[in-house]
Amino acid sequence: MKIRYENSLPLAAEYFGTIGAASGYDVGTLTPEQLVDVDVLAVRSTTRVTPELLACANRLTLVGTATAGINHLDTRYLDAQGIYWMSAAGCNAQAVAEYVLSVLCNAHLAGITDLKRARVGIVGAGHVGSALSRLLDTLGIDYVLFDPPLAEQGDERIFTDWQTILNCDVITLHVPLVPEGDYPTDKMIDAEVLNHLSAAQLLINACRGEVIDEVALKQRLMAGNGPTVVLDVFANEPDIDTDLLQYLWLATPHIAGHSLEGKYSGTQMVYEAICGLVGLTPEKSLDDFLPERPNLHVDLELCSDQGDNLAPAIALVLSVYDVTEDNNNFRQGLAGPTSFTAMRKQYRVRRELAGHQVEFSRQPDSAIATQLAKLGFNLK
């Protein structure tokens, strides 16, 4: 079996080399002729899989993308050709949820929103929205879910209406980019919606840039008294509107899902799909490749606040991942010679909450220990 993979896939050689003749290609260099006699093509979103690219693919049986999104795959063409395709949906869901949690923790400390009283409106209750809801449940933060397609499909969770979402203290977006159909998401946050939002609200977008009408967003923020806005994604990436950044509270270069676990999980899921295709039992797992969990030494006296029972969790979450560091790096990079694409490619190593071992200065009470364990921390 011949496997061709994009070199940007973490550990691709280590995974795929054990099950076939695997060879890599650099982003932007793959040609149709290089797919002759290839059985499996493994990509990321930086490779567009089109009929033109597959013109010479005479033996292709699987296209796997190590990303949650599939906008770069011509799935209709793949289906018509009988080529099985898969995505790593959910691979980075925990990472994105923890990104939003870091935003919320910072907003709480900055007085932008009070998490003890705020209601969070989660738009999109798929992998990411569900992961975020579990984190909020653990911290006792109020939230509502909005996802008409899932509600229509019979999902048994309780869903709210759009007007309720617009009245939430925090609105966080976790939907795929759907240009048409019964439930389009392209520019779902348009001028009308933005005009409804006030300075007391926080708007977070960590899904797809085009879900927000950026022209309308800039106009709304320039007019004053608009919502506090955090963007990890932008329209027209990587050629983004840098002028918009001055109106944003926090901005990052599409790295919300870029945890080490999220990246490795994408390759793991493609590897498992290939094994399933040829009837092999997967022998590799994430534990074979993830480094040891770093230790966090926590002084409960320093991170406690008698008036805020969220204080220990917030302090610990931000000690693992503080989104303001990425915000600062992004703005400094764009002010210099670093491109949007380069910042994504050169992004720092970031571990998820579950990738850390926690040691306490003293034995924590059971409520704090239970809460931190449910957040994913490993407790000593």
**Beta strands at 202-205 and 170-173: parallel, antiparallel or unpaired:** parallel
Closest listed residue to residue 349, CA positions, set 260, 224, 244, 254: 260
Distance of CA 227 to the CA centre of its chain: 22
- What CA–CA distances, in Å, run from 273 to 51, 67, 276? 22, 13, 5
Joined tokens for residue 186: 């392209």
CATH homologous superfamily for the domain 295-379: Erythronate-4-phosphate dehydrogenase, dimerisation domain (3.30.1370.170)
93-251 has the same fold as 2-87+260-286: yes
Yes or no: domain 2-87+260-286 corresponds to CATH 3.40.50.720: yes
Task: Examine the pLDDT at 188 and tell me if it is beyond 60.
Answer: yes
pLDDT given for residue 368 in this prediction:
80
pLDDT band at residue 257, thresholds of 50, 70 and 90? Answer: very high
Q: Quick one: average pLDDT of 301-329?
A: 84
Collapsed DSSP state (helix, strand, coil) of residue 335: helix
Joined tokens for residue 257: 């899902």
Which residues does 312 contact at the CB level (< 8 Å), separation at least 6?
A: 298, 300, 303, 304, 364, 368, 371, 372
- Extents of the domains making up the chain: 2-87+260-286, 93-251, 295-379
DSSP string for 290-312:
SPPPPEEEE-TTTS--TT-TTHH
Helix axes 93-109, 323-335, angle to 10 degrees: 90
Whether a cis peptide bond, with omega within 30° of 0, leads into 364 is no
Task: Examine the pLDDT at 306 and tell me if it is beyond 60.
Answer: no
Determine the Cα–Cα distance for residues 379 and 226; give it in Å rounded to an integer.
Answer: 41
**Beta strand ranges found along 233-282 (DSSP E):** 250-251
Determine the Cα–Cα distance for residues 91 and 126; give it in Å rounded to an integer.
Answer: 12
**Cβ distance 237 to 264 under 8 Å?**
no
Q: Residue 18: exposed, middle, or buried by beta-carbon count in 10 A (0-12, 13-18, 19+)?
A: middle
Determine the Cα–Cα distance for residues 323 and 84; give it in Å rounded to an integer.
Answer: 37
Q: Quick one: average pLDDT of 192-206?
A: 97
Joined tokens for residue 243: 């002028």
pTM of whole model > 0.75? yes
pLDDT given for residue 96 in this prediction:
98
pLDDT given for residue 190 in this prediction:
98
Joined tokens for residue 197: 């939002």
Determine the Cα–Cα distance for residues 45 and 42; give it in Å rounded to an integer.
Answer: 10
pLDDT band at residue 362, thresholds of 50, 70 and 90? Answer: confident
Collapsed DSSP state (helix, strand, coil) of residue 227: coil
Q: Residue 250: exposed, middle, or buried by beta-carbon count in 10 A (0-12, 13-18, 19+)?
A: buried
Q: Quick one: average pLDDT of 89-102?
A: 97
Mean pLDDT of the chain: 94
Helix axes 127-139, 366-375, angle to 10 degrees: 170
Closest listed residue to residue 123, CA positions, set 154, 94, 160, 91: 160
Task: Examine the pLDDT at 20 and tell me if it is beyond 80.
Answer: yes
pLDDT band at residue 69, thresholds of 50, 70 and 90? Answer: confident
Give percent of the chain above pLDDT 70.
97
pLDDT given for residue 366 in this prediction:
81
More confidently predicted of 297 and 131? 131
Determine the Cα–Cα distance for residues 3 and 12; give it in Å rounded to an integer.
Answer: 10
Query: What is the tens place of the pLDDT at every residue in 206-243?
Result: 999 999 999 999 999 999 999 999 999 999 999 999 99
**Cβ distance 262 to 94 under 8 Å?**
yes
**Cβ distance 257 to 92 under 8 Å?**
yes
Task: Examine the pLDDT at 302 and tell me if it is beyond 60.
Answer: no
**Cβ distance 51 to 60 under 8 Å?**
no
Determine the Cα–Cα distance for residues 330 and 374; give it in Å rounded to an integer.
Answer: 31
pLDDT given for residue 369 in this prediction:
84
**Cβ distance 166 to 197 under 8 Å?**
yes
Looking at domain 93-251, its CATH architecture is 3-Layer(aba) Sandwich (3.40)
**Cβ distance 193 to 184 under 8 Å?**
no
pLDDT band at residue 300, thresholds of 50, 70 and 90? Answer: low
| Direct distance between the N- and C-terminal alpha carbons of the chain, in angstroms, rounded to an integer | 45
Determine the Cα–Cα distance for residues 372 and 193; give it in Å rounded to an integer.
Answer: 36
pLDDT band at residue 304, thresholds of 50, 70 and 90? Answer: low
pLDDT given for residue 323 in this prediction:
98
State the catalytic residues.
208, 237, 254
Q: Which helix (H) or strand (E) holds 65?
A: strand 62-65
